[in-house]
């Protein structure tokens, strides 16, 4: 049975205050920003605006400078969201991993459709490499659309022949723009956050004519061999559960180390509610252990 805290989260999601990606986009963006602004950020975190070769970002010193970097990619269905709105979640993960956090403001659709977001991630990654940071001291993480973008970026980094980062961490990733997973229907009644119709609208804006099964737009269709170790966390009460299952199956079949965690009863990106949800902080702590192990701990 869901805890009181989880019931509060679900009630808030069902209240109608969240974004409707199937409706007016500007209204959805405003609603999403308003919702994100209600999430508290720990007072210990200080953020500085910066940019990577023209790509805006927020920097937070959540680990020693020599330890390495976490590139964080926010959610928002590729059409909304911001580093500012997700700064607390990004910093919590960076702190758990002992890494310096860089939350990117990659370009959004429809103004900047696929593959603009991937291009921005590659720019930021190259800047870090050119600064002298070793790739085995870098991790890429993201939630929802940012989770799919993280996986697509790892595929692109491999295909470009760049040295790969140490690990990827995907939170409730949206990695299939066809929106055809069986869980889109089977989990619809229990998912308080997302619906298939709204995601299809957002996918169309992001794709802007690109085929929905393009391997970089929908990385469940990509060759996932030769990627760094992946941690995938998803809730059992998500219509995107099928995307995570497909990622794990594809990566595992390709010989890529993948650790899939399906958290019972959890909803979309429950880690963002770590301030009130024990499972949120527990999952972040688990991710911190995973990342520290892949990056060799603090050094």
Tokens of 16: 């109608």
From the candidates 74, 244, 268, 283, give the one annotated as an active-site residue.
268
Angstrom distances, CA of residue 84 to CA of 50, 248, 263: 12, 30, 27
Tokens of 135: 């790739």
Q: Which of 166, 79, 71, 88 is closest to 124 using CA atoms?
A: 71
Residue 112 falls in the annotated catalytic set: no
- DSSP for 191-243? -SS--HHHHHHHHHHHHTTS-TT-TTTSGGGS--TTPPPEEEEEETT-TTHHH
Q: Compute the chain's Rg from CA coordinates.
A: 17
Strand, helix or coil at 180? coil
Residue 74 falls in the annotated catalytic set: no
Tokens of 81: 């969201």
The rounded distance, in Å, linking the Cα atoms of 172 and 181 is: 14
Residue 208 falls in the annotated catalytic set: no
Which contiguous run of DSSP H or E holds residue 266?
none
The rounded distance, in Å, linking the Cα atoms of 188 and 183 is: 7
The rounded distance, in Å, linking the Cα atoms of 8 and 193 is: 13
From the candidates 144, 150, 153, 244, give the one annotated as an active-site residue.
144
The rounded distance, in Å, linking the Cα atoms of 258 and 224 is: 10
Three-point CA angle 170, 205, 225, nearest 5°: 35
From the candidates 153, 238, 279, 283, give the one annotated as an active-site residue.
238
DSSP-derived letter for residue 164 is P
- Helix and strand counts by DSSP (H, E) for the chain: 9, 8
The residues assigned a catalytic role are: 144, 238, 268
């Amino acid at each position: 049975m869901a805890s009181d805290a989880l019931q509060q989260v679900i009630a808030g999601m069902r209240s109608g205050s969240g974004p409707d990606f199937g409706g007016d986009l500007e209204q959805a963006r405003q609603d999403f920003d308003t919702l994100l602004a209600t999430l508290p950020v720990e007072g210990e975190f200080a953020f500085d605006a910066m940019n990577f070769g023209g790509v805006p970002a927020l920097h937070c010193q959540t680990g020693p400078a020599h330890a390495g970097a976490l590139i964080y990619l926010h959610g928002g269905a590729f059409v909304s969201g911001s580093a500012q709105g997700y700064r607390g979640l990004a910093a919590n993960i960076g702190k758990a991993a002992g890494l310096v956090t860089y939350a990117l403001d990659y370009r959004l659709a429809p103004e900047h459709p696929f593959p603009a977001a991937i291009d921005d991630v590659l720019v930021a990654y190259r800047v870090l490499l050119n600064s002298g940071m070793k790739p085995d001291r870098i991790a890429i993480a993201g939630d929802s659309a940012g989770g799919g973008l993280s996986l697509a970026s790892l595929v692109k980094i491999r295909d470009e022949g760049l040295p790969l980062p140490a690990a990827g961490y995907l939170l409730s990733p949206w990695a299939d723009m066809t929106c055809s997973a069986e869980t889109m229907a089977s989990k619809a009644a229990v998912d308080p956050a997302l619906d298939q119709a709204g995601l299809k609208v957002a996918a169309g804006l992001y794709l802007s004519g690109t085929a929905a099964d393009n391997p970089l737009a929908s990385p469940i269709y990509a060759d996932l061999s030769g990627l760094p170790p992946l941690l995938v966390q998803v809730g059992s009460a998500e219509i995107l559960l099928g995307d995570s299952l497909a990622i794990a199956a594809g990566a595992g079949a390709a010989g890529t180390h993948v650790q899939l965690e399906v958290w019972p009863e959890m909803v979309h990106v429950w880690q963002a509610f770590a301030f009130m949800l024990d499972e949120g902080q527990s999952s972040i702590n688990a991710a911190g252990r995973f990342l520290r192990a892949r990056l060799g701990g603090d050094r």
